[in-house]
A and B are shown apart, each in its own frame.
Chain A
Amino acid sequence: MKKIEVITRPFKVDDIKDALTDVGVKGMTVTEVKGFGRQRGHTEVYRGAEYQVDFLPKVKIEVVVEDAITADCLRAIQDAARTGEVGDGKIFVSSVEEVIRIRTGETGDSAI
């Protein structure tokens, strides 16, 4: 099992959700986050004074998937999220030791 974390542009979240659903993902967690990478921030101007705002609004999508569909998921996310401009974001993949469905006590792939 793998945990996939995607940090990307807020307006892409629906496209990514649809793409992941299409390859068989059944649930995900989405958080509004702020941060910066190579895109850096932007400037804001108030009464003629410029301020550098470092942290841009982004979304973080977290999803845990079976090993078998991990590659499909990663491809789907990239296709859905890519604009080609700086600021498209990143995907982090890590191994997950165990998953437990609280309601039934199921573990492993069947709990995802």
Chain B
Amino acid sequence: MNAADTAFVLISAGLVMFMMPGLALFYGGMVRGKNVLGTLMHSMILLGLVSVLWAVVGYSLSFGEDIGGVIGGLNYFGLAGVGQEPLEGMTIPHLAFMIFQCMFAVITPALITGAFAERIKFSGFLIFSALWIICVYSPMCHWVWGGGWMAKMGALDFAGGAVVHMSSGAAALAATFCLGKRKGYGKEPFIPHNLPLTILGAGMLWFGWFGFNAGSALAANGLAASAFAATHMAAAAAALGWIIVEWMHRGKPTTLGMASGAVAGLVAITPAAGFVGVMPAILIGLIAGGLCYGGVLLKHKFGYDDSLDVVGIHGLGGTWGALATGLFASTAVNPAGADGLFYGNPGQFMIQLVSVVATWAFCFIVSYALYKIVDAIVGIRVSPEDETKGLDVSQHSEVGYQI
């Protein structure tokens, strides 16, 4: 056991937890004022729901003994045997690894909430999120990090391009099909009610992301430093990339664009952070900024109502990041990784491509089915009257602002 590694991973877990209020504010500022509490609640209550679920069964399904490369066994059910001793091959207590991974499980379904914001029924949302952790997140996590088939295939995903971002992006896309558009879509403007909240939230996400990516080294070492630097530079470049593109396209650079770009860069570098150097990270970020700006415009073109652009930013950004890992990965950065296309190994790009397609297909299909199941049980969408009143009053009997 290594004290420095343990301290680093525990602090990183705390940093990732801090992304939850960050995400809550990021999303909360973008909705209309009548839905601000409902939107904050979506992120924050998952700290409650998913954490408990993770301790009881989620961790075991993700990291328990491998069953056919598909799912983990129940040997860690209720955290049985998960104690202060390190796992084999690790330098941190098993519990430190468990709680670090717990935060990842919490934030992933919270990312999806941007897609169905302003119209989902709270009870349906809770049931969906619980089912999603068991049926989508845990298998994905096992495939990539728990010794499942994607890991065996050699797919690289340092901190969750597939597990966290593509999975939530695919679930977000499914949500737009199952829930439909918000009332008044295309007729009335859906304008963010408090962008300062959103900018603050983006800053908190950026800060917490250091724990997310650098912490994924699971040790206080050179690789953690490399991932930290790559993460920061990608976010920086993507904030620039986004506003450059929108400045050319719409004539003005916006604060929402700057914040969205930074998040897009953080998403894109997530799978690559521990495999690529700093200069490739800047390039990945720069492209992510422009690419995701285009990505959020797709919803207008195809007419799906992804309220807060989960598909355009997390889905597309995560996909780009996973593919970019196959291009820019270098064993000079991480000997435990692999070389990408630009370092003479085109095979890695193909492996990444397979993981992208499989992730989208699996997560989209299962999420779609889960929405339908939940809709049949309790209903997934609020009534038109409740939607007009807003989620704050109709779902929680409160209002955000007493003015």
Q: A47-B257, A47-B296, A47-B309 are in contact. Are A52 and B250 (CB under 8 A)?
A: no
In this assembly, does A50 line the interface, its C-beta being within 8 Å of a C-beta of chain B?
yes
Residue-wise, chain A 73-112 has the 8 Å CB interface mask toward B (1 for contact) of 0000000000000000000000000000000000000000
Cβ-defined partner of B300 (8 Å) among A44, A45, A49, A53 = A49
Cβ-defined partner of A45 (8 Å) among B254, B260, B309 = B254
A45 touches B250 (CB 8 A): yes
Which residue of chain A has the shortest Cβ distance to B296 in the bound complex? A47
Cβ-defined partner of A48 (8 Å) among B189, B191, B246 = B246
Within 8 A of B (CB), among A26-72: 44-53
> For A44, what are the chain B residues with a Cβ–Cβ distance below 8 Å?
189, 191
Counting chain A residues whose Cβ lies within 8 A of the other chain, the interface size class is 10 to 19
In this assembly, does B152 line the interface, its C-beta being within 8 Å of a C-beta of chain A?
no
> For B260, what are the chain A residues with a Cβ–Cβ distance below 8 Å?
47
In this assembly, does B192 line the interface, its C-beta being within 8 Å of a C-beta of chain A?
yes
> For B297, what are the chain A residues with a Cβ–Cβ distance below 8 Å?
47-49
Shortest distance from the beta carbon of B109 to any chain A beta carbon, whole Å: 23
Choose among B189, B252, B260 the residue with the greatest number of A CB atoms under 10 Å from its CB. Answer: B189
Q: A46-B256, A48-B246, A48-B250 are in contact. Are A53 and B293 (CB under 8 A)?
A: no
Choose among A45, A50, A51 the residue with the greatest number of B CB atoms under 10 Å from its CB. Answer: A45
Shortest distance from the beta carbon of A32 to any chain B beta carbon, whole Å: 12
Describe A's contact surface by its main secondary structure: strand
Shortest distance from the beta carbon of B197 to any chain A beta carbon, whole Å: 14
B189 touches A51 (CB 8 A): yes
B189 touches A47 (CB 8 A): no
Residue-wise, chain B 296-326 has the 8 Å CB interface mask toward A (1 for contact) of 1100100000000100000000000000000
A48 touches B252 (CB 8 A): no
> For A47, what are the chain B residues with a Cβ–Cβ distance below 8 Å?
256-257, 260, 293, 296-297, 309
Cβ-defined partner of A53 (8 Å) among B191, B256, B296, B309 = B191
In Å, the complex CA distance between A48 and B296 comes to: 8
B189 touches A52 (CB 8 A): yes
A51 touches B254 (CB 8 A): no
Choose among A47, A48, A50, A53 the residue with the greatest number of B CB atoms under 10 Å from its CB. Answer: A47
Within 8 A of A (CB), among B225-255: 246, 249-250, 252, 254
In Å, the complex CA distance between A44 and B251 comes to: 12
In Å, the complex CA distance between A52 and B186 comes to: 12
In Å, the complex CA distance between A47 and B293 comes to: 7
Which residue of chain B has the shortest Cβ distance to A50 in the bound complex? B250
Which residue of chain A has the shortest Cβ distance to B299 in the bound complex? A49
> For A46, what are the chain B residues with a Cβ–Cβ distance below 8 Å?
191-192, 254, 256
> For B189, what are the chain A residues with a Cβ–Cβ distance below 8 Å?
44, 51-53
Other than the given A46-B192, A47-B256, A52-B189, 11 more pairs (CB < 8 A) read A44-B189, A45-B246, A45-B254, A46-B254, A47-B296, A47-B309, A48-B293, A48-B297, A50-B250, A51-B191, A53-B191
A-B pairs with beta carbons under 8 Å apart, 24 shown: A44-B189, A44-B191, A45-B246, A45-B250, A45-B254, A46-B191, A46-B192, A46-B254, A46-B256, A47-B256, A47-B257, A47-B293, A47-B297, A47-B309, A48-B249, A48-B250, A48-B293, A48-B297, A49-B297, A49-B300, A50-B250, A51-B189, A51-B191, A52-B189
Q: Which 4 A-B pairs have the closest CB atoms?
A: A51-B189, A47-B296, A45-B250, A48-B297
